[in-house]
Chains A and B, each alone.
Chain A
Amino acid sequence: MTTASDAAARARLAAINQGPGDIAERNAANTVIAAYGRDPRFPQSGISSSDITRARLANINNLYNTQVAQARPTATPRLPNYGSTGGGGSRRGGGGGGAAPAPTMNQAMLDWIAGLLKGGAPTAQGATNLDLPDYAGRPLAPFDPSMFNQFRESWNQGVQSDLANAQTATSNMLNFLNTNYTNAFNNPNLTYATAGQAPGMTQQAMARYLQGQGVNPSLGAGVAAEQAQGDAGFGSLWRTLAANEDLAQRNRIANAQQYGTQAQQGITAAGRGGELGINLAQGQAQAAWQRAAEERAYQDYQMQQQIAQQEALQSWQRANQVTDANTAATNAYRNSELSALLGLMPQIVAAGGGLNLPSLQSLGLAA
């Protein structure tokens, strides 16, 4: 049964709950609820110990249980050490029926409020760094020398072919010289006429003829000597020409060999020149490829740097945003806490100075 005194107390409590301090408290609680997504004063099974420390949770629960226990007997919120509202005008004597004295703030109330305020402190949000997928890059395919190798192989085949042709030509020449050469002046099939082969009588026949005519056969010796001298002179000429032919043949052979060597050297030099050209072309191509590869690598590096800068910038911005949000939430909380405390000042003063003001630690304003 609700007494008049209880009704009055409820009315007073309701009046108290609509004061500026109550409003600030509710605002703070709403801020906390908005930060957590629920009311931290009423623990639920899904609450994580990382969100609210167990100490804070226990404190809130204790305060809540105290509040519930105090309010339960009359189903009306009862403040700790709540003064009697019965009777009437006993303090002032006489004149009964007057309003009950205003409730005064007690220490338990003040502690409960301080704990509530502390529990409503916003929890700092943490910023997560941005980690974009790494840029894989697209390096150039390795330099492909196969075309140059093919050129080189084909070129060398050509060089070998030309060398073989030149060698064959030289070999044919030497073979021709050695096979077909016959010294015309030293050819057993081609002899020259001598006095012994002259037409008519031989010297012996002439000697016999002279002897038959009764004269000395030596009369023809002078002519025979002339013939012998003529043969000797012609033979000398013949042998000279034969030697000249052999010399010419040796010169031809030497010339053929020399020319063959020169051709070989010339072809070899030209071949090396061509191979050098291929090597130079490959070197230029490799240099061009190297430049392109370096440019590509630099582009990849730039992309990686851009992504890294983007990650850093985004992370930095996010961290600043979180810090700003945390600072704003803390400032709002503290303002509301201060407003709530200032709203309680009349009740605290009315308590007559017997209350211990909450410490900064109990209010969550200092570590």
Chain B
Amino acid sequence: MAVTGYAPDIAGYQAQENDLQYRYNTDRATNAYGRFLSQQRGQRTLSDLSLGFNRQLPSYRASWGQRGLMGPNVNSGIMQRAMGNYLGDYARDYGRAQQDATQEAQNYDLQAAQLDAYLNNQMATLEQGKQNEIANAALAIEALRPYLGNLGGVY
């Protein structure tokens, strides 16, 4: 066997890199689409929440007026506290819905970054494997050359 024929399988590494890149691209697209859906879902939730609240708010106010607790020159403390609670609950629910949407987006962002990091790591690993194999091939050739009857030459 001639030493000349011994060389790393560069094409094999390239194929693995291509596969990795392909999987990254699909995963990344899926992630982006999922993030978009998540954002849309959060947006809808917030819109629905605001819409429902704004629809209920006039009747809620009117109920205080029917009881004579709110009106021109009437501004009872009970009504003030109840409105505060009502609007506070709304603000809290709205904020938490916002936070849920944000955290869901963050989760997608985390997954995206992890996909990037995974791609970076795997590409580096593949490249390192390839370059190591090249160096290993050189080392193996060097070690095997005396036994293969080929003392020198450039390969």
> Taking beta carbons and an 8 Å cutoff, which residues of A are in contact with B?
151, 153-159, 161-163, 165-166, 168-170, 172-173, 176-177, 180-185, 187, 190-195, 197-201, 203, 206, 210, 213-216, 219-220, 222-224, 226-227, 230-231, 234, 237-238, 241, 245, 248-249, 252, 255-256, 259-260, 263, 266-267, 270-271, 273-274, 277-278
Decide if A172 touches B131 in the complex (CB within 8 Å).
yes
Chain A residue nearest in CB terms to B113: A184
Decide if B138 touches A163 in the complex (CB within 8 Å).
yes
- What would be 30 A-B contacts, judged by CB atoms less than 8 Å apart? A155-B145, A158-B142, A158-B155, A161-B155, A165-B134, A166-B135, A173-B127, A173-B132, A182-B120, A184-B114, A192-B105, A192-B106, A193-B109, A198-B42, A198-B101, A200-B46, A200-B94, A215-B87, A227-B98, A234-B106, A245-B120, A255-B128, A256-B131, A259-B128, A263-B138, A266-B142, A267-B142, A273-B143, A274-B146, A277-B146
Contact of B106 among A193, A248, A273 (CB under 8 A): A193
A219 CB → nearest B CB, Å: 4
Contact of A227 among B99, B123, B132, B139 (CB under 8 A): B99
Q: How large is the interface on B (under 10, 10 to 19, 20 to 34, 35 or more residues)?
A: 35 or more
A75 to B155, CA, bound (A): 119
Q: What are the 4 closest A-B residue pairs judged by CB atoms, nearest first? A: A154-B152, A223-B95, A184-B116, A193-B105
Q: Contact flags (1/0) for B36-50 with A, using CB distance below 8 Å?
A: 000100110011001
Decide if A200 touches B98 in the complex (CB within 8 Å).
yes
Decide if B135 touches A199 in the complex (CB within 8 Å).
no
| B121 proximal to A (CB < 8 A) | yes
> Taking beta carbons and an 8 Å cutoff, which residues of B are in contact with A?
39, 42-43, 46-47, 50, 57, 80, 83-84, 87-88, 91-92, 94-99, 101-103, 105-106, 108-110, 112-117, 120-121, 123-124, 127-128, 131-132, 134-139, 141-143, 145-146, 151-155
Chain A residue nearest in CB terms to B75: A214
A224 to B115, CA, bound (A): 30
Decide if B135 touches A259 in the complex (CB within 8 Å).
yes
Interface SS of chain B: helix
Decide if B87 touches A274 in the complex (CB within 8 Å).
no
Residues of B contacting A153 with CB < 8 Å? 152
Chain A residue nearest in CB terms to B137: A165
Decide if A227 touches B95 in the complex (CB within 8 Å).
yes
Contact of A195 among B98, B117, B153 (CB under 8 A): B98
Decide if A274 touches B145 in the complex (CB within 8 Å).
yes
Decide if B102 touches A195 in the complex (CB within 8 Å).
yes
Residues of B contacting A259 with CB < 8 Å? 128, 132, 135
Decide if A263 touches B145 in the complex (CB within 8 Å).
no
Decide if B153 touches A154 in the complex (CB within 8 Å).
yes
Most-contacted residue by chain A among B97, B103, B135 (CB, 10 A): B135
Most-contacted residue by chain A among B96, B97, B132 (CB, 10 A): B132
Residues of A contacting B98 with CB < 8 Å? 195, 198-200, 227
Residues of B contacting A162 with CB < 8 Å? 138-139, 141-142, 155
Decide if B91 touches A206 in the complex (CB within 8 Å).
yes
Decide if B92 touches A222 in the complex (CB within 8 Å).
yes
Decide if B84 touches A252 in the complex (CB within 8 Å).
no
Residues of A contacting B131 with CB < 8 Å? 169-170, 172-173, 176, 256
Contact of B123 among A180, A191, A210 (CB under 8 A): A180
Decide if B153 touches A157 in the complex (CB within 8 Å).
yes
A259 to B128, CA, bound (A): 10
